[in-house]
Structure 1
Amino acid sequence: MTTIGQRSELVQIQKPADGYDDFGQPVIGWVKVIDVWANIVHRSGLETIRADTPTSIVQASIRIPAPAAAGVTAAMRVMCADGIAYNIKGVLPDRVKREFVDLVCETGASDG
């Protein structure tokens, strides 16, 4: 079983804000779903061209405990304490022991 010591960073899972303000305008931004300890492993760094400007894209696997992943979808993001936002691209559960979930993530292309 994975211990909290193997999860090195407290992160926040966020979802897009859903609703309207007092003036009936859509709320734009993100809201907290849960704070959770995670292990972040960077897979690669890619260079791409966006609007004629080089952009760095970093891919990562973010492992969180299975109970904390209930309801997490690819429409959400992971926000780190240092301000780096990772867009969730996929949710991969541990089908054998059901102890953790790996979130396939990216940062850099759209700044989270």
Structure 2
Amino acid sequence: MTMQAGALNRRIRIERRLEGEDAAGQPQEAWDPTPVAEVWANVKGATGMASIRQTSPQDNVAASVNSYSIRIRYREGIDDGMRVVLSGVPFDIKQVRMDYAGREWTDLVCEQGGNDG
């Protein structure tokens, strides 16, 4: 069973965090302007699955976090340190699920509203 092109109806960009340090010796906090990939995807939100999460223990501030499943054609080289950008909105990649048997799809389990996503 092959993946239908019509189901892939959203254009996304996959980005990685820059490595290294800034002039003060602190870790980089920026995203690489050159994307890992720009691909077509199918984006599904988990209806009714938004959760409230505390952003950090010392802040005692809650943030609404929404979960999404973003399916793309089979692609290796994506990991949970990357993010997806859809229409200018960032989504943190939390898990990557691969179709190793059929090599047809890769699912990116993402959250929006937490840190960079």
- Please tell me the TM-score bracket, short chain as reference: 0.7 to 0.9
Runs of 4+ that moved beyond 2 A: 18-21, 23-28, 48-54
Partner of 1:70: 76
Q: How far has the Cα of 1:65 moved from its partner?
A: 0.4
Residue 55 of structure 1 is aligned with which of 63, 81, 84? 63
Q: Determine what percentage of the aligned residue pairs are the same residue.
A: 32
Structural RMSD (CA): 2.0
Q: Distance in 1 between matches of 2:86 and 2:66?
A: 14
Q: How far has the Cα of 1:47 moved from its partner?
A: 1.9
Q: Greater strand percent: which structure?
A: 1
Which ranges of structure 2 fall in alignment gaps of 5 or more residues? Answer: none
Normalising by structure 1, report the TM-score. Answer: 0.83
Taking a change above 3 Å as real, the CA distance of residues 86 and 95 of structure 1, as seen in their structure-2 partners, is same
Q: Distance in 1 between matches of 2:39 and 2:11?
A: 6
